Amino acid sequence: MKIDGTPFRSIWVDDTDRWSVRIIDQTKLPWSIDLARLTTMEGVAHAIKAMLVRGAPLIGASAAYGVALAMRADASDASLANAIAVLGATRPTAINLRWALARMQQALQPLSPAARTAAAYGEAAAICDEDVATNQAIGKHGLPLIAARAAGGRRVNVLTHCNAGWIATVDWGTALAPIYMAHDAGIDVHVWVEETRPRNQGASLTAWELGKHGVNHTVIADNAGGHMMQRGDVDLVIVGTDRVTRAGDVANKIGTYLKALAARDNGVPFWVALPSSTIDWTISDGLADIPIEERAASEVTTMTGRALDGSIATIRVVPKDSPAANPAFDVTPARLVSGLITERGLCDANEFALREMFRDIA
Ligand SMILES: CSC[C@H]1O[C@H](OP(=O)(O)O)[C@H](O)[C@@H]1O
């Protein structure tokens, strides 16, 4: 998408040296646009773990380039195995990480070391290009959900949680793709942007993205989403996801489950946007089988933002001696999901529908 008129992707190969990997450091947004340069596999692993890059599809794309950087340094079998292991251990919930690493392994293992570097960069680039096309398709298939509610120029209010925008993918995003397309089609779409404690991906990233694209939005506290639904101010909810089971259970940013409960209680459609690379065909029961990342307590006990003097500051918001827990995701049972917006179309959140739509993959 564009940042102040300049087209960007969230990750790309440096166009000067043609081997280092460039990213937008998302820990610095929205306060500054820092383009970081990653030159080692370990640097990519840190970027994923510390959330300089985040979002399931972007985590997968970043890991793919991490393998390419590893091959550039040492294309041996041991180096390939080490890269897969190190990158695979960075974050446990988003299945796209495992999917991308398996794809890189499959592409590189059969090759001679001499052929691996070029092949790795080629496969990583293909993953990125496919992600862009996939997300455009998600946008196209999700657009009617918004357009159907825009009769007579009526404003359509969409609530989203966390950030599943272009910055969470290589481009376009998943949950935000239909919103961008609705906006570009002239529909009066407004987005309730939940701040998404504790990392505030909504307040810091979704608000920033939508603002840069000129999409009307209002940031709200996480706890306000249900209230907006009760008042009839939410026409539909669209969120992203990090892993969907073959039965349609959805892992997403912590707090998503509460939105789904409020949506069900208020008769608000609750849609989940995802590429098929986010489906984990090996599991059915999300609550039992999706690993939930536990992140540092400091993400709950402190907040970082711009101080009134313009400096970037981190403040403590919890007493020093109070422990904090920080589960980064929760699981929304399929029964609370109105439907899935995929690159192949809209799909019920159940095993039969998923297998019908993706019989060539399942
Ligand atoms: C398009 S996937 C976006 C998904 O990833 C986010 O998690 P994180 O920011 O921790 O990587 C969140 O769950 C989003 O819905």
Catalytic residue numbers read: 242
56 is in an annotated binding site: yes
Q: What stretch of H or E contains 306? A: strand 302-306
- Per-residue pLDDT band for 11 (boundaries 50, 70, 90) equals very high
Query: Strand pairing partners for 331?
Result: 251
Of 49, 90, 252, the residue with max ligand 1 atoms within 8 A of its CB, to mutate for a pocket test, comes to 252
Q: For the segment 183-222, what is each residue's pLDDT rounded down to a tens digit?
A: 999 999 999 999 999 999 999 999 999 999 999 999 999 9
Q: Where are the domains of the chain?
A: 2-131, 140-357
CA dist 244 and 203 (Å) reads 25
Is the ipTM here above 0.95? yes
The finding on whether 164 has its CB within 6 A of some atom of ligand 1 is: yes
pLDDT, residue 28, reads 96
- CATH superfamily, region 2-131: translation initiation factor eif-2b, domain 1 (1.20.120.420)
- Dihedral angle of Cα 264, 332, 181, 123, to the nearest 10 degrees: -170
Cα–ligand 1 centroid distance for 181 (angstroms): 20
Residue nearest to atom 12 of ligand 1 (CA): 253
Q: For the segment 86-115, what is each residue's pLDDT rounded down to a tens digit?
A: 999 999 999 999 999 999 999 999 999 999
Cα–ligand 1 centroid distance for 169 (angstroms): 9
**Which fold is adopted by the domain 140-357?**
Rossmann fold (3.40.50)
**Mean per-residue pLDDT, 220-226:** 98
The finding on whether 253 has its CB within 6 A of some atom of ligand 1 is: yes
The finding on whether 245 has its CB within 6 A of some atom of ligand 1 is: no
Q: Which of 51, 61, 55, 79 is closest to 21 using CA atoms?
A: 61
**Mean per-residue pLDDT, 342-362:** 97
| Pairing outcome for strands 339-342 and 329-332 | unpaired
Helices marked H in the chain — which ranges?
A: 41-49, 56-73, 77-88, 95-108, 113-147, 177-184, 201, 207-213, 225-230, 256-265, 286-289, 298-301, 351-357
The finding on whether 100 has its CB within 6 A of some atom of ligand 1 is: no
26 is in an annotated binding site: no
Residue nearest to atom 15 of ligand 1 (CA): 240
The average confidence (pLDDT) of the chain is 97
201 is in an annotated binding site: yes
**Mean per-residue pLDDT, 11-27:** 98
pLDDT, residue 122, reads 98
Q: For the segment 163-172, what is each residue's pLDDT rounded down to a tens digit?
A: 999 999 999 9
Cα–ligand 1 centroid distance for 161 (angstroms): 9
Q: Are 248 and 340 in contact (CB under 8 A)?
A: yes
CA dist 174 and 161 (Å) reads 12
Q: How far is CA 5 from CA 110, 115, 167, 212, 214, in A?
A: 43, 38, 16, 9, 12
The finding on whether 168 has its CB within 6 A of some atom of ligand 1 is: yes
Residue nearest to atom 5 of ligand 1 (CA): 55
- Per-residue pLDDT band for 5 (boundaries 50, 70, 90) equals confident
Give the strands of the sheet with 189-194, arranged side by side: 216-220, 189-194, 156-161, 236-239, 270-273, 339-342, 345-347
- Dihedral angle of Cα 315, 318, 320, 322, to the nearest 10 degrees: -160
54 is in an annotated binding site: yes
Atom of ligand 1 nearest to the CA of 239: 15
Q: Dig out the tokens for 4 from the structure.
A: 């102040």
* Number of alpha carbons in the 13 Å side-chain half-sphere of residue 170: 23
CA dist 8 and 145 (Å) reads 27
Q: Dig out the tokens for 197 from the structure.
A: 């404690």
Model-level pTM? Answer: 0.97
Q: For the segment 107-135, what is each residue's pLDDT rounded down to a tens digit?
A: 999 999 999 999 999 999 999 999 999 99
The finding on whether 169 has its CB within 6 A of some atom of ligand 1 is: yes
The finding on whether 10 has its CB within 6 A of some atom of ligand 1 is: no
Q: Which of 145, 161, 146 is closest to 332 using CA atoms?
A: 161
